[in-house]
Amino acid sequence: MRTSYDIVIIGSGVGGLGAAARLVTVGYSVLVLEKMPLLGGRFASMEYKGFTLSTGAEALECGGALEEAFHLVGAPFDVRKPSPDIMYRVGEREFELPPGGGGLRRMLSFIGKPGEGDKVMLAMKRALQWEEPSKGLSLRDWVAQYTSDPDIHGFFQAFCAAIFAINSHEATAWAFIRFIKVLGGKIVHAFPSHGPSVLMDGLAKRIEEKGGEIFTKARVKRILVEEGLVRGVLVEKDGDQIEIDARAVISNAGPRGTVRLAGRESFDRSYLKLMDETLRPTPSAGVYIASDRPLMEHPGCLMPIGTRRVCWIVNPTTLCPELAPRGKHLMLSFNAFGDSLSTTNLEDEIRLNIQDLRDLFPDFDSHAKVLMAVTFHGDWPVYHSWPGEDLPQKTPIENLYNVGDGVKVPGMIGLESAAETARLVAEDLMRRLVKK
């Protein structure tokens, strides 16, 4: 490790490595510091009882900034696309989300009473083409203006909880409409073959081959700021504290983490106010299930409607059997917390998730068992901020940027949003930072 670089990146999540890939490609000297022993942050994998389990995301989106980052450095993008991608279940009935545009309209025509979906779609068309709803209205209250059909409300709740990881009474209608505008009909999901770590380690390897340096077990203790300008970081590695100079620092530690590292006193008051008042993580509970036969037939994701909690079930091993021991299958079941803001009873969230699984899969107890049940919140949430309530990528400290899912672009979520922030920050740096 040298003591001076053009750019230091704190954290190796999709945002951190995505930015590194773009910046080494154009010739900047780049150092990535990751405090954990593995790369990828909430898109990495661990071995557990012969299963490969993700530290967060299971499914990625193809064709956007994430995939582009891999191609830029020539890293393998080995993924498998399920077909059908997403299925919905209402009671005993299952529907496929029709691919491409118009899928939502067709879904609502299957789900609600005749004519009810059309009322919502008409309002949505207006919101998409004319004026977006204000940020003051929840998605649930916005839908309630047009229908009281319980299945349609159930659909919006499940959809919202699955994509935003918060409930329809919590998300704003504005954020939802933005999502439909930006990504509606465009998402193509895929599973990383062999799990997320193989994909992210492959990206890191190509970054290093192109001259970037990446260290794990290297915790940044402090972002160094002088007269409103970032000047480097203090990192702890192998028991030593090393000061590293940098012309720019990109933090993937989440906006709150960045403020902790640089010290509140270094930030403008309006930025701190915005962060304190709007930045809220989205919590979730996840149940990892091992079974001796697949519990669902189709190879992608299932969005069950009208459950107590469960909103997103992922079935990766039909397409990627290597993620489970021979003869075994893996399924994951996620839920948004009943109340995303309060200190919820974490055990209850898991209990309700498992109760839903028993209802959804009548043979659950005879063929499946819970491998692991986890709650994601605090510093390890689904997203660092509620969709639509993000901070900007630039901070008030010159040349200090954030990347990741606390500074999402409106309308984007998850891995793809983190990769997009990396693209935006890298492009800004390329405009501003002359190469030495």
Ligand X SMILES: Cc1cc2nc3c(=O)[nH]c(=O)nc-3n(C[C@H](O)[C@H](O)[C@H](O)COP(=O)(O)OP(=O)(O)OC[C@H]3O[C@@H](n4cnc5c(N)ncnc54)[C@H](O)[C@@H]3O)c2cc1C
Binding positions for ligand X, rule: CB under 6 A: 10-16, 33-36, 41-43, 56-60, 219-220, 252-253, 257, 261, 284, 286, 376, 382-383, 403-405, 414-416, 418
Phi and psi at residue 352, to the nearest 5°: -70, -35
Burial 18-55 (b: 16+ CB within 10 A, else e): bbbbbbbbeebbbbbbbbeebbbbbbbbeeeeebbbbb
Whether the CB-CB separation of 300 and 190 falls below 8 Å is answered with no
* CB nearer ligand X, residue 2 or residue 221: 221
Minimal CA–CA distance to 59: which of 332, 388, 364?
332
DSSP letters of 64-78? SHHHHHHHHHT----
Nearest distance from residue 173's CB to ligand X, in Å?
Answer: 22
Nearest distance from residue 137's CB to ligand X, in Å?
Answer: 25
Rounded to whole angstroms, how far apart are CA atoms 403 and 421? Answer: 5
Nearest distance from residue 45's CB to ligand X, in Å?
Answer: 12
* CB nearer ligand X, residue 119 or residue 410: 410
* CB nearer ligand X, residue 6 or residue 405: 405
* CB nearer ligand X, residue 18 or residue 117: 18
Residues whose CB falls within 8 Å of the CB of residue 204, separated by 6 or more in sequence, listed in order: 12, 17, 32, 39, 214
Rounded to whole angstroms, how far apart are CA atoms 180 and 66? Answer: 19
Rounded to whole angstroms, how far apart are CA atoms 227 and 195? Answer: 44
Question: How many H-runs (helices) and E-runs (strands) does the chain carry?
Answer: 13, 19
Whether the CB-CB separation of 341 and 280 falls below 8 Å is answered with yes
Nearest distance from residue 144's CB to ligand X, in Å?
Answer: 28
Whether the CB-CB separation of 14 and 60 falls below 8 Å is answered with no
Nearest distance from residue 34's CB to ligand X, in Å?
Answer: 5
Nearest distance from residue 276's CB to ligand X, in Å?
Answer: 20
Residues whose CB falls within 8 Å of the CB of residue 126, separated by 6 or more in sequence, listed in order: none
Residues whose CB falls within 8 Å of the CB of residue 35, separated by 6 or more in sequence, listed in order: 11, 217, 218, 219, 220
* CB nearer ligand X, residue 14 or residue 400: 14
* CB nearer ligand X, residue 38 or residue 360: 38
Nearest distance from residue 310's CB to ligand X, in Å?
Answer: 13
* CB nearer ligand X, residue 34 or residue 389: 34
Nearest distance from residue 109's CB to ligand X, in Å?
Answer: 27
* CB nearer ligand X, residue 124 or residue 230: 230
Phi and psi at residue 282, to the nearest 5°: -100, 115
